[in-house]
Chain A
Amino acid sequence: MMAVFAILPFLVNPLNLPREKQDRLECERLSHAEANARHPGVLPPEKPRGDYLDRTLLLCRERIAPPELRHPRDESVLFELGEQASALAEAATSAAPDGDHVWLVEANYPNAQVVPKLTFATKVALMRRGVTVSDRLVALGAGDVDVITRMEPMQAYPAACHRYAESGSLREGDVLLTLMVLDPRETSLHAGLCTDGRWTWLR
């Protein structure tokens, strides 16, 4: 493979860039129709009777943060933060009980710098869906924290939800959307809803 790469660099490595520069690029291949819609004039128009070549457009943009700058898990989560937040907001608003609610958002993530990013993006995505969102925080007493942090995540979140409601931290009509990673090695976010002390896993 290395030999082929050396002999035919343009075939294997169409951008003909060093590996470290390629790693900074975010590329997508567009079909002829997509290329004409998004970047008109770059590709020649398709001939009415077809063409011998199948023309596509490889669109590359340079990533802002080089790969070595952030932890791979953080980079993976932040790379598609907007899409993830929109998808979670859509799933949450679909799963929420009917009626007017005030939405609260919290996140549990290994890197404290990423936590406000997750909650911020999700709150904005919820606002875009037209629901009422609050910056209010929910809190547990020290005794609750001591017990709940000893539990497995699958039991801890429902238990915390129950305690939020019982302690009055989560009011009637509030919906708490919680984002979390259940295993520090995974890069996908899980989410759950807490309403009136009842916990529902979204994913």
Chain B
Amino acid sequence: MAALMALLLSLLLPLAAQAATPVEQAQVRELDRVRTEVADEVHLYAFDLLDEMVWEWSQEPVFESPTPVVLAGVTVPVGLGSGLQALVENHLSTVLADNPAANVQLVHCPQCTAVVVHSGPEGTVLSRGYDNPEVLERLGAETGRHALFVDIEAEGAFLVLRARLTRLTPDLPIVWSHTLSTSTSTPALLRDSTQLTSAADARQEYLDALEGRGVFSVPVRLAVRSYAQGWNMRATPAPPFLWLQTGVELAATEARTWTGGLIVGYSFVPQAYMGFMGQARVARLITGQRRSLTRPDLYVFVGGSVNSVWGAATLPFQEDLVNADQVLAASKREGPRTSFGGFQVGLDGRIGRRIGVSTYLETLPGLVYTPNMGTYVQFIFAFQSIGTEVTFWF
């Protein structure tokens, strides 16, 4: 009989497929698209509800000791496919395996979920295994196990999870049941299955991740500025300057698309130079509309600075040609004090919330005519300096 049905179906199905009009085919495609779109959104909410259920079990276990449980049935919202069902089953298995404190050990029981046929004096009964524990016992399955049923349904704007545990004895009593729901106006919490927390704590972590950054942050930065060799070969170039800088950075919004900062810096190398600087900077995120919590971000920035330096090694910032002898002679006294301004343009790469690396070109308008200093790049402005920074944010 079954073979006859299969033959009939194999003959009819291709005919049915051919009979579908282009409009019907388009409707089926559209339905599949909608189904996929909804399933993509729903599965995170479903995971959230499963996480909450297992977390509740780990806090108040249904069983006093680890107990074998058969995952007898998982049903997903009507209209969504079996792919979502598989995702939900896998996630539940993973979360339960990662949380032994829940005292629920999923066990494999193919007889329980199979359709079984039992013929006896009272007649022939066709049923699923877990609906007929007496037949299960004859098939060798351990009696007295528990079966877990999970149902997830979309009820308006709410996704509702219902779960029940049934003891697989002839009376099939339901020993536990529960209902949980979430709505589309609440974002999924995406809890780590190995460290489940309550919904309230997970929500707080989520808010902390957004708000903990705040709009203010304090950078501590180590910077090196190198100056180009002057066109006159007899001239002595300025040495690289090391700066330790700190200040405050302000973000316009939580998205941190635009940021601005004020920085002060100090530089000191014994018997060479000492200096102070102040800098203002505005940066724009160029790798998205908002800072990412998971991947690096890149900003482009422009800034202006004022530097005041003194010491023997700062002689090349003078307008006169300076040679090595003059620098050595100056090292025996305090040396000249020079103040100059600069403008920077550069790129700032940030990794996570704490570390950043940046590089920039700097033009020093007051030192354009200094024979001791050349140009690295000439593009609209003469950029005499290149800077590299490593920044830590607090």
Contact = CB atoms under 8 A, between A and B. Distances in A.
Interface string A64-82: 1110111000100011111
B172 A136 contact: yes
Interface string B94-131: 00000000000000000000000000000101010011
B41 A123 contact: no
Given A26-B157, A61-B185, A139 B125 contact: yes
A134 B42 CA distance: 30
Contacts of A132: 173
Which of A61, A69, A134 has most chain B Cβ within 10 Å?
A: A69
A61 to B, nearest CB: 3
Contacts of B158: 64
A78 B42 CA distance: 16
Interface stretch (A49-57, A111-119, A185-193): A111-119
How many chain B residues sit at the interface, stated as a range, is 35 or more
A127 B175 CA distance: 9
A81 B80 CA distance: 17
B77 interface: yes
A183 interface: no
B35 interface: yes
Contacts of B157: 26, 61-64
A134 B172 contact: yes
A66 B159 contact: no
A29 to B, nearest CB: 15
Interface residues of A, number: 36
A82 B184 contact: no
Interface in B63-108: 73, 75, 77-80
Given A63-B156, A70-B79, A133 B35 contact: no
B164 A124 contact: yes
Interface of A: 26, 61-66, 68-70, 74, 78-82, 102, 111, 113-114, 116-117, 120-121, 123-124, 127-128, 132-137, 139, 141
30 contacts: A61-B183, A62-B185, A63-B157, A63-B184, A65-B38, A65-B77, A69-B79, A69-B80, A70-B79, A74-B78, A74-B79, A78-B78, A81-B155, A82-B179, A116-B75, A116-B151, A120-B151, A120-B162, A121-B153, A121-B162, A123-B174, A124-B164, A124-B178, A127-B177, A135-B130, A135-B131, A135-B166, A135-B172, A137-B127, A141-B123
Interface of B: 30-31, 34-35, 38, 41-42, 45, 73, 75, 77-80, 123, 125, 127, 130-131, 147, 149, 151, 153-160, 162, 164, 166, 171-174, 177-179, 181, 183-185
